[in-house]
Protein backbone atom coordinates (compact mmCIF):
# COMPACT_ATOMS: atom_id res chain seq x y z
CA UNK A 1 0.00 0.00 0.00
CA UNK A 2 1.02 3.60 -0.47
CA UNK A 3 0.48 6.63 1.70
CA UNK A 4 -1.38 8.39 -1.08
CA UNK A 5 -3.86 6.55 -3.28
CA UNK A 6 -4.94 7.88 -6.66
CA UNK A 7 -8.64 7.14 -7.11
CA UNK A 8 -9.46 8.66 -10.49
CA UNK A 9 -9.49 11.84 -12.53
CA UNK A 10 -12.04 13.61 -14.72
CA UNK A 11 -11.64 16.31 -17.35
CA UNK A 12 -13.12 19.59 -16.19
CA UNK A 13 -12.16 22.03 -18.98
CA UNK A 14 -10.90 21.70 -22.54
CA UNK A 15 -10.61 24.92 -24.52
CA UNK A 16 -8.70 25.53 -27.75
CA UNK A 17 -8.65 28.54 -30.05
CA UNK A 18 -6.60 29.08 -33.19
CA UNK A 19 -4.93 32.48 -33.22
CA UNK A 20 -6.11 34.26 -36.41
CA UNK A 21 -3.39 36.91 -35.99
CA UNK A 22 -0.52 34.42 -35.93
CA UNK A 23 1.90 34.94 -38.81
CA UNK A 24 3.38 31.52 -39.50
CA UNK A 25 5.77 32.87 -42.16
CA UNK A 26 7.54 35.18 -39.68
CA UNK A 27 7.35 32.86 -36.66
CA UNK A 28 9.31 29.75 -37.59
CA UNK A 29 10.75 29.22 -34.09
CA UNK A 30 7.72 29.06 -31.83
CA UNK A 31 8.28 29.05 -28.08
CA UNK A 32 5.29 27.99 -26.03
CA UNK A 33 5.43 28.69 -22.32
CA UNK A 34 2.17 27.60 -20.77
CA UNK A 35 1.23 28.27 -17.16
CA UNK A 36 0.50 25.27 -14.95
CA UNK A 37 -1.18 25.62 -11.57
CA UNK A 38 -2.93 23.47 -9.01
CA UNK A 39 -5.66 23.97 -6.46
CA UNK A 40 -5.76 21.35 -3.71
CA UNK A 41 -8.90 20.99 -1.61
CA UNK A 42 -8.52 18.72 1.44
CA UNK A 43 -11.77 17.24 2.77
CA UNK A 44 -13.12 14.41 4.96
CA UNK A 45 -11.03 14.88 8.10
CA UNK A 46 -7.82 15.28 6.10
CA UNK A 47 -8.10 11.86 4.48
CA UNK A 48 -9.35 12.83 1.02
CA UNK A 49 -8.27 15.50 -1.43
CA UNK A 50 -9.48 16.88 -4.72
CA UNK A 51 -6.84 18.47 -6.94
CA UNK A 52 -7.55 20.64 -9.94
CA UNK A 53 -4.50 20.77 -12.21
CA UNK A 54 -4.65 23.32 -15.02
CA UNK A 55 -2.50 24.24 -18.01
CA UNK A 56 -3.19 27.50 -19.79
CA UNK A 57 -1.66 29.30 -22.75
CA UNK A 58 -2.92 32.81 -23.39
CA UNK A 59 -3.21 34.06 -26.93
CA UNK A 60 -0.50 36.42 -28.14
CA UNK A 61 1.16 37.24 -31.46
CA UNK A 62 3.95 34.67 -30.93
CA UNK A 63 1.82 31.53 -30.55
CA UNK A 64 -0.43 29.83 -33.12
CA UNK A 65 -3.16 28.97 -30.63
CA UNK A 66 -4.35 29.35 -27.07
CA UNK A 67 -5.69 26.65 -24.77
CA UNK A 68 -6.86 25.85 -21.30
CA UNK A 69 -7.15 22.32 -19.94
CA UNK A 70 -8.00 21.38 -16.38
CA UNK A 71 -8.44 18.00 -14.80
CA UNK A 72 -9.69 17.06 -11.36
CA UNK A 73 -7.98 14.23 -9.52
CA UNK A 74 -9.20 12.39 -6.43
CA UNK A 75 -6.79 11.09 -3.79
CA UNK A 76 -6.99 9.35 -0.41
CA UNK A 77 -4.46 9.38 2.40
CA UNK A 78 -3.38 6.36 4.44
CA UNK A 79 -1.65 7.79 7.49
CA UNK A 80 -0.39 4.36 8.59
CA UNK A 81 1.64 4.08 5.37
CA UNK A 82 2.90 7.68 5.40
CA UNK A 83 6.06 7.23 7.50
CA UNK A 84 5.24 10.56 9.11
CA UNK A 85 5.07 12.48 5.81
CA UNK A 86 2.35 15.11 5.86
CA UNK A 87 -0.64 14.64 3.53
CA UNK A 88 -0.20 18.18 2.17
CA UNK A 89 3.41 17.50 1.23
CA UNK A 90 2.44 14.30 -0.58
CA UNK A 91 -0.27 16.14 -2.45
CA UNK A 92 2.04 18.98 -3.54
CA UNK A 93 4.65 16.57 -4.86
CA UNK A 94 3.39 13.07 -5.57
CA UNK A 95 -0.25 13.80 -6.44
CA UNK A 96 0.65 16.65 -8.79
CA UNK A 97 3.27 14.43 -10.45
CA UNK A 98 0.69 11.64 -10.85
CA UNK A 99 -1.79 13.95 -12.60
CA UNK A 100 0.66 15.76 -14.87
CA UNK A 101 0.99 13.02 -17.54
CA UNK A 102 -2.80 12.95 -17.95
CA UNK A 103 -2.83 16.72 -18.42
CA UNK A 104 0.04 16.53 -20.95
CA UNK A 105 -1.80 13.87 -22.94
CA UNK A 106 -5.02 15.87 -23.12
CA UNK A 107 -3.18 19.04 -24.20
CA UNK A 108 -1.40 17.08 -26.93
CA UNK A 109 -4.61 15.54 -28.24
CA UNK A 110 -6.55 18.79 -28.07
CA UNK A 111 -3.94 20.89 -29.87
CA UNK A 112 -3.49 18.26 -32.56
CA UNK A 113 -7.18 18.30 -33.45
CA UNK A 114 -6.86 21.67 -35.19
CA UNK A 115 -5.46 19.93 -38.29
CA UNK A 116 -3.49 23.12 -38.89
CA UNK A 117 -0.59 22.83 -36.45
CA UNK A 118 1.15 19.79 -35.02
CA UNK A 119 0.34 18.49 -31.56
CA UNK A 120 1.91 20.50 -28.77
CA UNK A 121 3.65 18.17 -26.32
CA UNK A 122 4.24 19.88 -23.02
CA UNK A 123 7.82 19.20 -21.92
CA UNK A 124 8.48 16.50 -19.34
CA UNK A 125 9.78 18.23 -16.23
CA UNK A 126 9.66 18.23 -12.46
CA UNK A 127 6.29 19.95 -12.44
CA UNK A 128 5.87 19.86 -8.65
CA UNK A 129 9.16 21.69 -8.10
CA UNK A 130 8.44 24.18 -10.89
CA UNK A 131 4.99 24.97 -9.53
CA UNK A 132 6.32 25.29 -5.98
CA UNK A 133 9.02 27.74 -7.12
CA UNK A 134 6.40 29.82 -8.94
CA UNK A 135 3.99 29.57 -5.99
CA UNK A 136 1.37 28.00 -8.29
CA UNK A 137 0.00 25.48 -5.78
CA UNK A 138 -2.83 26.61 -3.53
CA UNK A 139 -4.23 24.50 -0.69
CA UNK A 140 -7.58 24.92 1.05
CA UNK A 141 -9.14 22.86 3.82
Every domain of the chain and the residues it spans = 4-26+33-140
Q: Which CATH number fits domain 4-26+33-140: 2.40.170.20, 3.90.1580.10, 3.10.420.10, 3.40.1160.10?
A: 3.10.420.10
Entry pTM:
0.93
The pLDDT of residue 1: 60
Q: Helix, strand, coil % (nearest 5) of the chain?
A: 30, 35, 35
Going residue by residue through the chain, which has 141 residues, state the pLDDT in tens, using 9 for 90 and above.
Answer: 689 999 999 999 999 999 998 888 887 778 899 999 999 999 977 899 999 999 999 998 889 999 999 999 999 999 888 999 999 999 999 999 999 999 999 999 999 999 988 899 999 999 999 999 999 999 998
Distance CA(61)–CA(132), nearest Å, equals: 29
The pLDDT of residue 134: 96
Q: Which residues, in sequence order, are CB contacts of 17 under 8 Å at separation 6+?
A: 59, 65, 66, 67
Indicate if the alpha-carbon torsion angle 111, 40, 96, 102 is positive or negative: negative
Amino acid sequence: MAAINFINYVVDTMYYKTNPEFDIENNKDITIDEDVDAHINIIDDEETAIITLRAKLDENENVPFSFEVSIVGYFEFDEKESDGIDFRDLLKTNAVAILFPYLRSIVSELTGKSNRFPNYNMPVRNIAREMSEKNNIKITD
